[in-house]
Amino acid sequence: MKNAFSDDDGTRFFVVKRKEGDFARTSPFLIHKGIQSVVGEAKAIKKLKLGELLIEVQSSIQANNLKKCTQLTNIPVTVSIHRTLNSCCGVISESDLQYLSKEELLENLKDQKIKNVKESLYLRMTPK
């Protein structure tokens, strides 16, 4: 299956907040209708504890449409990228990479959309 986000940064998760109040007492049918009018069929829609909406989109076109959204069915909203769900953290423990600079690692891994590199002191091996 082709990646639907191949032309974009891969952002899939968004938080939608009402400018006044929250979505706690807003009809789920009205919410669904509003989201459908902006992005079509979203992959997932969840109401968060604070009355905000978490929306997962299926494509970069939907993501771009949602980023531009200022209203859902005449309800003024703000849309932001979820701060943690659109990224992941991993560890590479390859001895051939241990002496490379952060800049060299970032440059050579940019096609994999690596945005940050941190050195782990626990993994640093010193030659004997």
Question: Range of 48's domain?
Answer: 13-81
45, 35 contact by CB (below 8 A): yes
Residue 28 lies in a domain: yes
Same domain, 67 and 40: yes
Residue 110: the pLDDT is 83
How far, in Å, CA of 12 to CA of 56, rounded?
5
How far, in Å, CA of 40 to CA of 11, rounded?
17
* Contacts with 108 (C-beta within 8 Å, 6 or more apart), sequence order: none
Residue 46: the pLDDT is 94
pTM of the model: 0.71
Same domain, 67 and 52: yes
Same domain, 118 and 59: no
Spans of the chain, pLDDT less than 50:
1-3, 5-7, 123
CATH of the domain at 50: 3.30.70.330
How far, in Å, CA of 46 to CA of 52, rounded?
8
Segment 56-85, tens digit of pLDDT: 999 999 999 999 999 998 999 999 999 888
Same domain, 76 and 110: no
Residue 1: the pLDDT is 39
Residue 62: the pLDDT is 94
Same domain, 42 and 66: yes
